[in-house]
Structure 1
Amino acid sequence: MSTAFLLTTLVVVLTPGTGVVYTLAAGLSHGRRASVVAAFGCTLGTVPHALATVTGLAALLHTSAVAFEVVRYLGVAYLLYMAWSTLRDKRALVVGDDGAAADGPPPASRVILSGVLLNLLNPKLTMFFVAFLPQFVPAGDPGSVAAMLRLSAVFTGMTFVVFVAYGMCAAAVRGHVLGRPRVMAGIRRVFAASFVGLGAKLAVA
């Protein structure tokens, strides 16, 4: 495992994207546990892309414009849905006497599913793995498949750790903003705008 791979992976996972925005939103809205669950869901959504790359399925998206466009616009549609849901969901603005959201956090299964779909419907992740992994595997190496699986596992693990760190930071400041409806409403609009922006970026990719 080269230092170059580890540093490159760290830079990539630290760069804010869809998963980071979703994890931050979960941490701010529902606390530490929800942020960890969201981080897990987003990380889980990267696994199919890595497996597609290793097994050669990524070639379909790389060579078929139709397949790429279908997945891309499904991703755009889901990001816009997340923006709408973020604006519509008012639970985090209803605070109980103990400072927690009155209706409680959403089910873990729903948080995980949303996180998985956010990354699963992003064909750029598959393209990233196609361009990224082969750089760190010697050409003609008979153990290239095993090597790419190991690299993918490290990438996935680092993604989860970084996302959890982002979520914990968001959860740490949650108490300072949760009881302020105007602040929370503003934050909600920022996250919704972020999802719209990410959707637009994916649409024109």
Structure 2
Amino acid sequence: MEAEGLEGRMKAIIGTVRPKLEALGAELAPMLSRLCGEEMTAHVAKHARRSVNPPADTWVAWSSNPRGYKMHPHFQVGIWPTHVFLQFAIIYECPDKTVFAENALRELASVRRAVPDGYVWSKDHMVPEGTPHGRLTDEELSDWLRRLKTVKAAEITCGIHLPPDNPVLKDGEAFLRKAEETFAVLLPLYRMASGT
């Protein structure tokens, strides 16, 4: 997504990237529905509220609500200029963030075991960087979870980052397998968030 300015970037997203995200959304929805044990609907980012700043990233998200994903725990596949991400996310619009925060704090040891060291946590879905699980101490992760519970604007994501030269990105079948594997790893987090 090298296009400049809002109009140029949106034209590139709508013409080139969005159709791929829509296809990916349809392709992965049945797998995620089986994995989660409930109907998961794909939602491709529209960037409708953008009027000045062009989006640096774009994504498809899956949630159990057919009308939207922002107010619910969800899974995402998206692209920044630096990497592709596959992640579980709870963003600030989600009113039930405390459910996940309380469950994850109570089961911190199982969260630590379930998430591989190379997976990346972030407390801001608007920035591309994150902190590898293996570098977060129990106290740091607990602080993030307590913040999620008490700060209205708080959010949390966890998943993997694939750099542009990762061979998985050149092989559609391999990418689908990587997505399924990643979402299966993240399923315990989703279950903690959804109370199932």
TM superposition score category, shorter chain reference: under 0.3
Instruction: Give the number of the structure whose residues are more often helix, by fraction.
Output: 1
Structure in which a larger fraction of residues adopt strand = 2
Larger RCO (CA under 8 A, 6+ residues apart): 1
TM-score (norm. length: structure 2): 0.26
